[in-house]
Amino acid sequence: MYFAPDSKMVFPCFCKVTQILRCEQKFREIYRPIFSIAMRSTFFSAAVAAFLLTAPLSAQNNPVFPGWYADPDAAFFGKTCWIYPTYSAPYEQQVFLDAFSSRDLKTWKKHPRIIDTAAVKWAKKALWAPSIVKKGRKYYLFFSANDVHPGEVGGIGVAVAKRPDGPFKDLLGRPLVPEVHNGAQPIDQFVFQDGDGTWYMLYGGWGHCNLVRLKPDFTGLLPFADGSTYREITPEGYVEGPMMFRHRGKYYFMWSEGGWTGPDYRVAYAMSDTVFGPFRRIGTVLQQDTTVATGAGHHSVIRIPGRDEWYIVYHRRPLGRTDANHRVVCIDRMLFDEKGYVRPVRITK
Protein backbone atom coordinates (compact mmCIF):
# COMPACT_ATOMS: atom_id res chain seq x y z
CA MET A 1 0.00 0.00 0.00
CA TYR A 2 1.26 3.49 -0.87
CA PHE A 3 0.39 7.00 0.34
CA ALA A 4 1.12 10.33 -1.30
CA PRO A 5 4.04 12.17 0.34
CA ASP A 6 1.83 15.07 1.41
CA SER A 7 2.95 16.86 4.57
CA LYS A 8 -0.71 17.12 5.68
CA MET A 9 -0.79 13.33 5.86
CA VAL A 10 2.32 12.93 8.00
CA PHE A 11 0.59 11.91 11.21
CA PRO A 12 -1.95 9.51 9.62
CA CYS A 13 0.86 8.02 7.54
CA PHE A 14 3.01 7.57 10.61
CA CYS A 15 0.20 5.70 12.33
CA LYS A 16 -0.37 3.52 9.30
CA VAL A 17 3.30 2.65 9.08
CA THR A 18 3.27 1.79 12.78
CA GLN A 19 0.50 -0.71 12.07
CA ILE A 20 2.54 -2.20 9.24
CA LEU A 21 5.53 -2.49 11.53
CA ARG A 22 3.53 -4.49 14.05
CA CYS A 23 2.62 -6.98 11.27
CA GLU A 24 5.85 -7.16 9.36
CA GLN A 25 8.94 -8.13 11.35
CA LYS A 26 11.35 -7.67 8.48
CA PHE A 27 10.05 -4.16 7.76
CA ARG A 28 10.60 -3.26 11.42
CA GLU A 29 14.17 -4.59 11.40
CA ILE A 30 15.07 -2.66 8.26
CA TYR A 31 13.58 0.69 9.17
CA ARG A 32 13.83 0.79 12.98
CA PRO A 33 16.84 3.17 12.95
CA ILE A 34 14.99 5.64 10.74
CA PHE A 35 11.88 5.57 12.92
CA SER A 36 13.98 6.04 16.03
CA ILE A 37 15.42 9.25 14.63
CA ALA A 38 12.05 10.42 13.37
CA MET A 39 10.27 9.93 16.71
CA ARG A 40 12.96 11.89 18.55
CA SER A 41 12.63 14.72 16.07
CA THR A 42 10.10 17.55 16.41
CA PHE A 43 9.61 17.51 12.65
CA PHE A 44 8.80 14.25 10.85
CA SER A 45 9.46 15.38 7.29
CA ALA A 46 7.34 14.49 4.30
CA ALA A 47 10.46 13.25 2.52
CA VAL A 48 11.13 10.66 5.23
CA ALA A 49 7.49 9.62 5.19
CA ALA A 50 7.57 9.21 1.42
CA PHE A 51 10.67 7.03 1.63
CA LEU A 52 9.21 4.78 4.31
CA LEU A 53 5.89 4.38 2.60
CA THR A 54 7.16 3.57 -0.88
CA ALA A 55 9.94 1.17 0.13
CA PRO A 56 9.30 -2.58 -0.29
CA LEU A 57 8.22 -4.57 2.75
CA SER A 58 10.79 -7.28 2.04
CA ALA A 59 14.50 -6.89 1.50
CA GLN A 60 15.69 -7.37 -2.05
CA ASN A 61 17.72 -10.56 -2.41
CA ASN A 62 18.69 -10.66 -6.11
CA PRO A 63 21.51 -10.93 -6.90
CA VAL A 64 21.97 -13.42 -4.07
CA PHE A 65 25.64 -12.60 -3.45
CA PRO A 66 27.99 -9.82 -4.64
CA GLY A 67 30.53 -10.12 -7.42
CA TRP A 68 30.60 -10.96 -11.11
CA TYR A 69 29.58 -14.63 -11.42
CA ALA A 70 27.76 -16.71 -14.02
CA ASP A 71 26.72 -20.26 -15.05
CA PRO A 72 25.64 -21.33 -11.54
CA ASP A 73 25.16 -24.98 -10.64
CA ALA A 74 23.25 -25.47 -7.39
CA ALA A 75 22.70 -28.50 -5.18
CA PHE A 76 21.56 -29.40 -1.68
CA PHE A 77 23.95 -31.36 0.51
CA GLY A 78 21.91 -32.11 3.60
CA LYS A 79 20.05 -28.94 4.55
CA THR A 80 22.64 -26.64 3.01
CA CYS A 81 22.33 -25.27 -0.49
CA TRP A 82 25.56 -24.83 -2.44
CA ILE A 83 26.12 -22.77 -5.56
CA TYR A 84 29.13 -23.26 -7.80
CA PRO A 85 29.39 -20.46 -10.39
CA THR A 86 31.87 -19.34 -13.01
CA TYR A 87 34.03 -16.43 -11.94
CA SER A 88 32.92 -14.05 -14.68
CA ALA A 89 36.06 -12.44 -16.10
CA PRO A 90 38.20 -12.52 -19.27
CA TYR A 91 39.51 -16.03 -20.00
CA GLU A 92 43.05 -15.23 -18.86
CA GLN A 93 41.72 -14.18 -15.43
CA GLN A 94 39.08 -16.90 -15.13
CA VAL A 95 41.51 -19.37 -13.58
CA PHE A 96 39.72 -20.35 -10.35
CA LEU A 97 36.29 -21.20 -8.99
CA ASP A 98 34.56 -19.99 -5.82
CA ALA A 99 31.59 -21.61 -4.08
CA PHE A 100 28.78 -20.22 -1.91
CA SER A 101 26.65 -21.94 0.74
CA SER A 102 23.41 -21.07 2.51
CA ARG A 103 20.84 -22.69 4.78
CA ASP A 104 18.05 -20.22 3.96
CA LEU A 105 18.74 -19.15 0.32
CA LYS A 106 19.23 -15.58 1.56
CA THR A 107 22.43 -15.43 3.60
CA TRP A 108 25.41 -16.82 1.71
CA LYS A 109 28.92 -17.73 2.82
CA LYS A 110 31.71 -17.47 0.28
CA HIS A 111 34.25 -20.29 -0.05
CA PRO A 112 37.06 -18.83 -2.18
CA ARG A 113 39.23 -20.67 -4.68
CA ILE A 114 37.93 -24.19 -4.17
CA ILE A 115 40.01 -25.09 -7.24
CA ASP A 116 42.34 -23.26 -9.61
CA THR A 117 44.54 -23.99 -12.61
CA ALA A 118 47.46 -24.83 -10.31
CA ALA A 119 45.53 -28.00 -9.41
CA VAL A 120 44.70 -28.77 -13.05
CA LYS A 121 48.00 -28.89 -14.95
CA TRP A 122 46.41 -29.15 -18.40
CA ALA A 123 44.13 -26.14 -17.82
CA LYS A 124 45.97 -22.98 -18.86
CA LYS A 125 43.03 -20.59 -18.77
CA ALA A 126 39.28 -20.34 -18.38
CA LEU A 127 37.83 -22.70 -15.80
CA TRP A 128 34.07 -22.33 -16.05
CA ALA A 129 30.55 -23.82 -15.95
CA PRO A 130 31.04 -26.19 -12.98
CA SER A 131 28.69 -29.10 -12.24
CA ILE A 132 28.73 -30.66 -8.77
CA VAL A 133 27.61 -34.12 -7.57
CA LYS A 134 28.12 -36.14 -4.40
CA LYS A 135 28.84 -39.86 -4.59
CA GLY A 136 29.52 -41.77 -1.41
CA ARG A 137 31.56 -39.55 0.85
CA LYS A 138 33.23 -37.59 -1.93
CA TYR A 139 32.29 -34.58 -4.02
CA TYR A 140 32.99 -34.47 -7.73
CA LEU A 141 33.29 -31.18 -9.58
CA PHE A 142 33.04 -31.30 -13.37
CA PHE A 143 34.28 -28.21 -15.21
CA SER A 144 35.13 -26.79 -18.63
CA ALA A 145 38.65 -25.55 -19.34
CA ASN A 146 40.62 -23.77 -22.06
CA ASP A 147 37.63 -23.03 -24.38
CA VAL A 148 38.84 -25.92 -26.52
CA HIS A 149 38.76 -25.95 -30.31
CA PRO A 150 39.94 -28.80 -32.59
CA GLY A 151 43.68 -29.34 -32.19
CA GLU A 152 43.84 -27.71 -28.75
CA VAL A 153 44.23 -29.32 -25.34
CA GLY A 154 41.19 -28.75 -23.17
CA GLY A 155 37.59 -29.78 -22.74
CA ILE A 156 35.66 -31.22 -19.81
CA GLY A 157 37.55 -32.17 -16.65
CA VAL A 158 36.63 -33.64 -13.28
CA ALA A 159 38.03 -32.93 -9.82
CA VAL A 160 37.40 -34.56 -6.44
CA ALA A 161 37.34 -33.45 -2.79
CA LYS A 162 36.31 -34.77 0.60
CA ARG A 163 34.33 -31.62 1.39
CA PRO A 164 31.93 -29.50 -0.70
CA ASP A 165 34.21 -26.48 -0.21
CA GLY A 166 37.27 -28.37 -1.42
CA PRO A 167 40.09 -28.14 -2.00
CA PHE A 168 39.37 -30.03 -5.24
CA LYS A 169 42.13 -31.96 -7.01
CA ASP A 170 42.21 -33.08 -10.62
CA LEU A 171 40.95 -36.67 -10.75
CA LEU A 172 42.40 -37.76 -14.10
CA GLY A 173 45.32 -35.49 -14.98
CA ARG A 174 43.69 -35.01 -18.39
CA PRO A 175 40.29 -34.02 -19.81
CA LEU A 176 37.44 -36.50 -19.52
CA VAL A 177 36.09 -35.31 -22.88
CA PRO A 178 38.88 -33.64 -24.87
CA GLU A 179 37.47 -33.61 -28.41
CA VAL A 180 34.54 -32.40 -30.51
CA HIS A 181 31.93 -35.09 -31.22
CA ASN A 182 28.75 -34.59 -33.25
CA GLY A 183 29.70 -30.93 -33.64
CA ALA A 184 29.43 -30.28 -29.89
CA GLN A 185 32.22 -28.26 -28.31
CA PRO A 186 33.14 -30.05 -25.02
CA ILE A 187 31.87 -27.39 -22.60
CA ASP A 188 28.90 -26.64 -20.30
CA GLN A 189 28.58 -30.13 -18.82
CA PHE A 190 25.78 -31.14 -16.47
CA VAL A 191 25.95 -34.41 -14.50
CA PHE A 192 23.01 -36.24 -12.93
CA GLN A 193 22.01 -39.68 -11.68
CA ASP A 194 18.95 -41.40 -13.10
CA GLY A 195 16.48 -43.34 -11.00
CA ASP A 196 18.16 -46.64 -11.85
CA GLY A 197 21.50 -45.40 -10.51
CA THR A 198 23.08 -44.67 -13.92
CA TRP A 199 25.19 -41.52 -14.13
CA TYR A 200 24.77 -39.36 -17.23
CA MET A 201 26.38 -36.18 -18.48
CA LEU A 202 24.92 -33.69 -20.94
CA TYR A 203 27.22 -31.18 -22.55
CA GLY A 204 27.87 -29.10 -25.62
CA GLY A 205 28.37 -25.73 -27.22
CA TRP A 206 28.19 -24.55 -30.85
CA GLY A 207 24.51 -25.50 -31.09
CA HIS A 208 24.93 -29.23 -30.41
CA CYS A 209 24.23 -31.28 -27.26
CA ASN A 210 25.53 -34.77 -26.48
CA LEU A 211 24.46 -37.27 -23.84
CA VAL A 212 27.10 -39.65 -22.48
CA ARG A 213 27.09 -42.37 -19.84
CA LEU A 214 29.70 -42.10 -17.08
CA LYS A 215 31.65 -44.87 -15.41
CA PRO A 216 30.63 -45.25 -11.74
CA ASP A 217 34.00 -43.84 -10.61
CA PHE A 218 33.84 -40.97 -13.16
CA THR A 219 37.17 -41.93 -14.72
CA GLY A 220 35.73 -42.42 -18.20
CA LEU A 221 32.70 -43.05 -20.40
CA LEU A 222 30.66 -46.20 -20.99
CA PRO A 223 29.08 -47.10 -24.35
CA PHE A 224 25.34 -47.32 -24.78
CA ALA A 225 23.56 -50.54 -25.71
CA ASP A 226 23.97 -49.80 -29.42
CA GLY A 227 27.75 -49.42 -29.04
CA SER A 228 27.82 -45.63 -29.41
CA THR A 229 29.43 -43.42 -26.77
CA TYR A 230 28.26 -39.93 -27.78
CA ARG A 231 24.54 -39.62 -28.45
CA GLU A 232 23.31 -36.32 -29.84
CA ILE A 233 20.00 -35.11 -28.36
CA THR A 234 20.02 -31.53 -29.69
CA PRO A 235 16.56 -29.91 -29.63
CA GLU A 236 15.38 -27.03 -31.78
CA GLY A 237 16.90 -23.70 -30.76
CA TYR A 238 19.63 -25.22 -28.59
CA VAL A 239 22.83 -23.17 -28.16
CA GLU A 240 24.52 -24.22 -24.88
CA GLY A 241 24.08 -24.65 -21.10
CA PRO A 242 22.10 -27.94 -20.89
CA MET A 243 20.65 -29.41 -17.71
CA MET A 244 18.12 -32.12 -16.86
CA PHE A 245 15.92 -33.20 -13.95
CA ARG A 246 12.99 -35.52 -13.28
CA HIS A 247 9.58 -34.44 -12.02
CA ARG A 248 6.47 -36.61 -11.72
CA GLY A 249 7.90 -39.29 -13.98
CA LYS A 250 8.96 -36.90 -16.78
CA TYR A 251 12.43 -35.86 -17.91
CA TYR A 252 12.80 -32.09 -18.22
CA PHE A 253 15.59 -30.98 -20.54
CA MET A 254 16.53 -27.28 -20.37
CA TRP A 255 19.09 -25.26 -22.29
CA SER A 256 20.14 -21.70 -23.16
CA GLU A 257 19.43 -19.92 -26.43
CA GLY A 258 20.66 -16.70 -28.00
CA GLY A 259 24.07 -15.14 -27.49
CA TRP A 260 25.57 -15.17 -24.00
CA THR A 261 26.88 -11.61 -24.44
CA GLY A 262 23.55 -10.18 -25.56
CA PRO A 263 20.14 -9.32 -24.09
CA ASP A 264 18.39 -12.14 -25.97
CA TYR A 265 20.01 -14.87 -23.85
CA ARG A 266 17.21 -17.07 -22.47
CA VAL A 267 16.25 -20.55 -21.25
CA ALA A 268 13.93 -22.96 -23.07
CA TYR A 269 12.81 -26.50 -22.26
CA ALA A 270 11.42 -29.80 -23.51
CA MET A 271 9.93 -32.90 -21.86
CA SER A 272 10.14 -36.62 -22.56
CA ASP A 273 9.35 -40.00 -21.03
CA THR A 274 12.97 -41.15 -21.34
CA VAL A 275 16.43 -39.69 -20.77
CA PHE A 276 17.13 -40.17 -24.49
CA GLY A 277 14.20 -38.10 -25.69
CA PRO A 278 12.98 -37.25 -28.22
CA PHE A 279 13.05 -33.70 -26.91
CA ARG A 280 10.91 -31.17 -28.73
CA ARG A 281 11.01 -27.53 -27.70
CA ILE A 282 7.94 -26.54 -25.67
CA GLY A 283 8.61 -22.92 -24.77
CA THR A 284 10.71 -20.28 -23.04
CA VAL A 285 11.11 -20.55 -19.28
CA LEU A 286 13.39 -17.63 -18.47
CA GLN A 287 14.25 -14.41 -20.30
CA GLN A 288 15.08 -10.78 -19.77
CA ASP A 289 12.74 -8.18 -18.29
CA THR A 290 13.89 -4.76 -19.46
CA THR A 291 12.70 -3.24 -16.17
CA VAL A 292 14.78 -5.66 -14.07
CA ALA A 293 17.78 -7.12 -15.96
CA THR A 294 18.88 -8.51 -19.32
CA GLY A 295 20.62 -11.64 -20.60
CA ALA A 296 18.99 -14.14 -18.18
CA GLY A 297 20.26 -17.67 -18.82
CA HIS A 298 22.65 -20.59 -18.17
CA HIS A 299 20.90 -21.96 -15.13
CA SER A 300 20.34 -24.88 -12.81
CA VAL A 301 17.27 -26.02 -10.88
CA ILE A 302 16.91 -26.96 -7.22
CA ARG A 303 14.13 -28.57 -5.22
CA ILE A 304 13.77 -27.81 -1.53
CA PRO A 305 14.41 -31.13 0.30
CA GLY A 306 11.17 -32.76 1.41
CA ARG A 307 8.95 -30.31 -0.50
CA ASP A 308 7.55 -29.94 -3.99
CA GLU A 309 9.06 -26.46 -4.11
CA TRP A 310 11.36 -25.56 -7.00
CA TYR A 311 13.71 -22.69 -7.80
CA ILE A 312 15.71 -21.69 -10.84
CA VAL A 313 19.27 -20.45 -10.22
CA TYR A 314 20.66 -18.41 -13.11
CA HIS A 315 22.77 -15.46 -14.14
CA ARG A 316 21.73 -12.16 -15.66
CA ARG A 317 23.20 -8.79 -16.55
CA PRO A 318 22.24 -5.70 -14.48
CA LEU A 319 20.56 -2.89 -16.36
CA GLY A 320 23.03 -0.49 -17.94
CA ARG A 321 25.89 -3.00 -17.98
CA THR A 322 27.41 -3.70 -21.40
CA ASP A 323 30.57 -5.58 -20.43
CA ALA A 324 30.08 -9.23 -21.44
CA ASN A 325 31.44 -10.45 -18.10
CA HIS A 326 29.29 -8.26 -15.87
CA ARG A 327 26.94 -11.01 -14.77
CA VAL A 328 25.36 -11.81 -11.41
CA VAL A 329 23.72 -14.90 -9.87
CA CYS A 330 20.02 -14.80 -9.00
CA ILE A 331 17.28 -17.15 -7.76
CA ASP A 332 13.57 -17.10 -8.57
CA ARG A 333 10.66 -19.45 -7.92
CA MET A 334 9.80 -21.97 -10.64
CA LEU A 335 6.26 -23.33 -10.87
CA PHE A 336 4.51 -26.08 -12.82
CA ASP A 337 0.94 -26.05 -14.07
CA GLU A 338 -1.59 -28.86 -13.54
CA LYS A 339 -0.31 -30.69 -16.66
CA GLY A 340 3.32 -30.53 -15.57
CA TYR A 341 4.40 -27.78 -17.93
CA VAL A 342 6.82 -25.19 -16.56
CA ARG A 343 5.28 -21.78 -16.14
CA PRO A 344 7.34 -18.88 -17.52
CA VAL A 345 9.52 -17.49 -14.74
CA ARG A 346 9.29 -13.78 -13.98
CA ILE A 347 12.71 -12.51 -12.96
CA THR A 348 12.59 -10.38 -9.82
CA LYS A 349 14.67 -8.26 -7.51
Provide the annotated active-site residues: 71, 240
Alpha-carbon torsion (167, 171, 174, 180), positive or negative: negative
- Opening angle at CA 13, ends 12 and 16, nearest 5: 90
Amino acid 88 reads S
Q: 211 with 202: CB under 8 angstroms?
A: yes
